[in-house]
Amino acid sequence: MNRPMLALTAGVALAAPLPLTAQSWKTFTSSRLVTNEDRLIVEVSYGAGVLKLSRGDEGSLYRALFRFDEESAEPIAEYGNQRLDIGIDLHGHRGRNFRGKSDGPSLDLQLGPEVPADIELEFGAGRADVDLTGIPVSRLELNTGASESVLRIRELNPEPMEEAIIAVGAADLRVSGIGNFNTSEIEVNAGLGAVVLELDGSWVQNAMLSVEMGLGALEIHVPESLGIRVRRKSRFLSSFDAERLVRRGDVYESVNWDAADRRVEIEISAALGSVDIVWID
Please tell me whether residue 273 adopts helix, strand or coil conformation.
strand
In a domain, 200, yes or no: yes
In a domain, 8, yes or no: yes
In a domain, 243, yes or no: yes
Could you tell me the maximum CA-CA distance found in the chain, to the nearest angstrom? 66
C-alpha closest to that of 157 among 205, 190, 198, 196: 205
First to last CA, the chain: 52
C-alpha closest to that of 230 among 213, 252, 211, 246: 252
Q: How far apart, in Å, are the Cα atoms of 228 and each of 190, 209, 264?
A: 21, 10, 5
Q: Check whether residue 191 and residue 264 sit in a common domain.
A: yes
Q: Check whether residue 55 and residue 7 sit in a common domain.
A: yes
Q: Check whether residue 35 and residue 83 sit in a common domain.
A: yes
Residues of the chain with pLDDT below 50 are 1-20, 93-100
Q: How many CA atoms lie within 13 A of 111 on its CB side?
A: 28
In a domain, 132, yes or no: no
**DSSP bridge pairs for 131:** 152
Output the pLDDT for position 92.
54
In a domain, 207, yes or no: yes
Question: Exposed/middle/buried for 16, CB within 10 Å: 0-12, 13-18, 19+?
Answer: exposed
Q: Check whether residue 120 and residue 7 sit in a common domain.
A: yes
Q: How far apart, in Å, are the Cα atoms of 183 and each of 38, 49, 146, 200?
A: 20, 30, 27, 14
In a domain, 131, yes or no: no
Q: Check whether residue 175 and residue 230 sit in a common domain.
A: yes
Output the pLDDT for position 43.
98
Q: Check whether residue 5 and residue 117 sit in a common domain.
A: yes
**Domain residues for 102?**
1-125+139-144
pLDDT tens track for 3-54 = 443 333 333 333 334 344 557 899 999 999 999 999 999 999 998 899 999 9
pLDDT tens track for 150-167 = 999 999 999 999 999 999
> How many domains are there within the chain?
2
The last residue of a domain, from among 86, 110, 144: 144
In a domain, 208, yes or no: yes
How much helix, strand and coil, in percent to the nearest 5, is found in the chain?
A: 0, 65, 35
The last residue of a domain, from among 89, 114, 144: 144
Q: Check whether residue 81 and residue 185 sit in a common domain.
A: no
Q: Check whether residue 171 and residue 254 sit in a common domain.
A: yes
In a domain, 23, yes or no: yes
Q: Check whether residue 167 and residue 115 sit in a common domain.
A: no
Q: Check whether residue 92 and residue 168 sit in a common domain.
A: no
Output the pLDDT for position 1.
42
The last residue of a domain, from among 109, 144, 179: 144
Q: Check whether residue 101 and residue 210 sit in a common domain.
A: no
Q: Check whether residue 112 and residue 185 sit in a common domain.
A: no
| Prediction pTM value | 0.86
